Amino acid sequence: FEGIRVVSAWQREQMLAHALSAALIVGFASLACGAAIYPVVVRLSADNERKAREVLDSHISMMEALGRAIAKRDSETGAHNFRVAWIAARIAERLGLRGKDMQALIVGSFLHDIGKISIPDAVLLKPGKLDAEEFQIMHTHVVQGEEIVSGIGWLDDANAVVAAHHEKWDGSGYPRKLSGEAIPLAARIFAVADVFDALCSKRPYKEPMGFETAMSIMERDTGSHFDP
């Protein structure tokens, strides 16, 4: 501007005053809008948190209902589900699992035997050892469980444990005979918790084992059944 004409002092003061006035007006308007919007944002945020909690509660309730449905078939299964989910979660904590991976492990651990709903009582509750045909029937609970949890959104995360909790590190498990790291990590973690609890629990066909005996079996099967 001064290259074109000389700007007098009073004009410079006037331009500065106008600029400051405009800045003050914009700042005040921003603060006023923020003050007006803030309660709405807080209310919406609280509402979203409440709805998220309701969804989580409904998921947990559904998971517990499914667990009770399994327990109706086998009175021990309900407590077993809680125990193996807790043991698996503690192992996963030591391995550094967090967030969604941990949630998927817990849900999968709790619902790992959901497919047993389809197994006949004569096989599921048989007090003695199963014969070859009965073993084949029992093995179908894995596929049945996959079908139950698949396509239900939040239960899809449980599929890794449900589908692979009977696979073994050396490939001798079922149903797909996966081996090594082809077995999902969640299923490998769960296998340790599941077998340990089974060894230490009373079942229709066995008495509970002591801790030392159970651990000796676990150590013996490390590298064959379990991830080393």
Q: Which of 51, 72, 100, 116 is catalytic?
A: 116
* Residue 105 buriedness (CB in 10 A; 0-12 / 13-18 / 19+): buried
Q: How far apart are CA 65 and CA 62, in angstroms?
A: 5
Whether residue 111 contacts residue 78, with contact meaning beta carbons closer than 8 Å, is answered with no
* Residue 81 buriedness (CB in 10 A; 0-12 / 13-18 / 19+): buried
Whether residue 115 contacts residue 162, with contact meaning beta carbons closer than 8 Å, is answered with yes
Whether residue 193 contacts residue 84, with contact meaning beta carbons closer than 8 Å, is answered with yes
Q: Is 168 a catalytic residue?
A: no
User: Of 95, 206, 187, which Cα lies nearest the Cα of 217?
Assistant: 206
Spatial CB neighbours of 36, under 8 Å, sequence gap ≥ 6: none
Tell me the H-state helices in 96-184. 99-110, 121-124, 132-139, 141-149, 159-164
Catalytic positions: 116
